Amino acid sequence: MLSFLIRRLLQTIPTVLAVVLLVFVLFSVVPGSIVSTMSDDADPQVELRLKKQLGLDDPVYVRFGNYIAQLATGDFGTSFRTREPVTTMIAKRAWPTLQLILTAMAFSVVLGVPLGFVAALRPGGLIDSAAMVLAVSGLSIAKFWLGLVLMYLFALKLGWLPSFGYGDGGLKYLLLPAVTLGVSPMALFARTTRAAVLEIMTADFVRTARSKGMSETRVVKWHVMRNALVIILTTVGLQFGGLMGQAVVVEKLFSWPGIGSLLVDSVLQRDIPAVQGSILVVVLAFLAINLLVDVLYGVIDPRIRYA
């Protein structure tokens, strides 16, 4: 197990480096610079001095080397825009993003997985049809539009929840953005679960279990559910990464103070250290979750070896 973890951690290094390089090169070639967003009317000499000070006049490979050296010490650099350490900026935003994603994920798993199970147990039935209509709709609806509809309904018409903001960070403020973010993965989990369960239900080992006289409840509980969970877990792990990207839209819509809104403003203002730091954190989180999923495979199904 330990050697598996070490090997997997080592495998993440090239991925992280590739992402860092990609983002770095991308922001080196796209037009626009932080200097022009800082002042409309800066003295040209001042602009040159500032570019030099920020290292923007160095060749790309020098800047990249410096950045990697900085990263190796755990330093994400200083924001061009706010002049704060990027780690401080991300730290302030990490918890709200985590709150949002975890709540959205909880909502989607708690609703989506049972829905898929129930649908698969009676394929072609009323529940199955209704669940799949819901799933296709959930996957098709744009988050921005859904968020507005939820705001309109639950804030403006029913008055149950606030329409925007972080408030005290409590559930009252979290519900609408989390549901907006969670509907699409919920639909995906329902579809994936249904498909997985239907496939497993026709597998040889399920037929064997039934032929041995095992009750249907035990068949579903001990054979179908356990085997389906591996597939579901993979989807959940992948969706975590997807949610981090999709949170950008939801955070902006609901004025939620997460990493997404930090990323948007940093990109628009060419605040390269903040962009790189934000993307790196998202990538690291994604890799960490996938590693966790790999570990959980073995817990769910001991046949899966770490070797």
Partner 1 sequence: MFRIVAIVAGLGLALAASAEAQTPRKGGTIRMTAPYGSSFTSLDIHTTQRAQDEIYAKGLHRSLYIWDSAEGKPVPELAKEVIVSGGGLVHTFKLRDDAYFHNGRKMTADDVIWSYNRIMDGSKAYPGARYVRVIEGAAAVEKGQAKEISGLKKIDDFTVEMKLTEKVDPGFYFFTALTSIYPADEAAKEGFIQKPIGLGPFRFVEHVPGSRIVLERWDRFYKPGKPYADKLIVSVMGEAAARDVAFRNKEIDTSVLGPAQYVAYQADPDLKGTIVEVAEVFTRYMGMNPAFKPFADKRVRQAINYAIDTDLIINKLVKGKAYRATSWLPLTSPLYDKTMKPYAFDPAKAKQLLADAGYPTGFEFEWTTSQNESWGLPIVTAVIPMLDKVGIKAKVKQVEAAVLSEVVRSGDYQAFIYSQQTGPDPQAALKCFHSSTPQSACNYMNFRNADFDKMIDEAGQTDDSAKRGQLLQKANALLYEEAPVWFFNYNKAVMAVQPWLKGVQLNATELTHQNVEDLWVDETSPAK
* Residue 192: CB atoms within 10 Å: 22
What's the start-to-end Cα distance of the chain, in Å? 8
Q: Which is nearer to partner 1, 182 or 260 (CB)?
A: 260
**Whole-angstrom Cα distance, residue 121 to residue 220?**
9
Q: Which is nearer to partner 1, 279 or 287 (CB)?
A: 279
Question: In the bound complex, what is the minimum distance in angstroms from residue 279's beta carbon to partner 1?
Answer: 16
Show contacts with partner 1 in window 172-201 (CB under 8 A). none
Q: Which is nearer to partner 1, 11 or 255 (CB)?
A: 255
Question: In the bound complex, what is the minimum distance in angstroms from residue 134's beta carbon to partner 1?
Answer: 25
- Asked if 55 is part of the footprint of partner 1 (rule: CB under 8 A), the reply reads no
Show contacts with partner 1 in window 249-288 (CB under 8 A). 251-258, 261-262, 264-265, 268-270
Q: Which is nearer to partner 1, 166 or 240 (CB)?
A: 166
Q: Which is nearer to partner 1, 42 or 295 (CB)?
A: 42
Residue span binding partner 1 (CB under 8 A) among the ranges 59-67, 145-153, 181-189, 209-217? 145-153
* Residue 172: CB atoms within 10 Å: 12
Which amino acid is residue 254, in one-letter code? F
Residue span binding partner 1 (CB under 8 A) among the ranges 27-35, 194-202, 236-244, 281-289? 27-35
Question: In the bound complex, what is the minimum distance in angstroms from residue 30's beta carbon to partner 1?
Answer: 8
Q: Are 235 and 189 in contact (CB under 8 A)?
A: yes
- Asked if 46 is part of the footprint of partner 1 (rule: CB under 8 A), the reply reads yes
* Residue 129: CB atoms within 10 Å: 13
Question: In the bound complex, what is the minimum distance in angstroms from residue 4's beta carbon to partner 1?
Answer: 38
Q: Site for partner 1 (CB under 8 A): which residue of 42, 175, 295, 296?
A: 42
Question: In the bound complex, what is the minimum distance in angstroms from residue 265's beta carbon to partner 1?
Answer: 5
CA-based nearest residue to 289, from 230, 237, 236, 235: 237
Gyration radius of the chain over CA positions: 24
Q: Site for partner 1 (CB under 8 A): which residue of 33, 192, 227, 235?
A: 33
**Whole-angstrom Cα distance, residue 235 to residue 185?**
9
Q: Site for partner 1 (CB under 8 A): which residue of 45, 73, 202, 211?
A: 45
**Contact characters 73-112, partner 1, x per CB under 8 A:** --------xxxx----x--xx--x----------------
Q: Site for partner 1 (CB under 8 A): which residue of 24, 67, 76, 166?
A: 166
Q: Site for partner 1 (CB under 8 A): which residue of 164, 230, 231, 300?
A: 164
- Asked if 170 is part of the footprint of partner 1 (rule: CB under 8 A), the reply reads no
**Interaction site with partner 1 (CB under 8 A):** 31-33, 35-47, 49-50, 53, 81-84, 89, 92-93, 96, 147-148, 151-152, 155-156, 159, 162-166, 251-258, 261-262, 264-265, 268-270
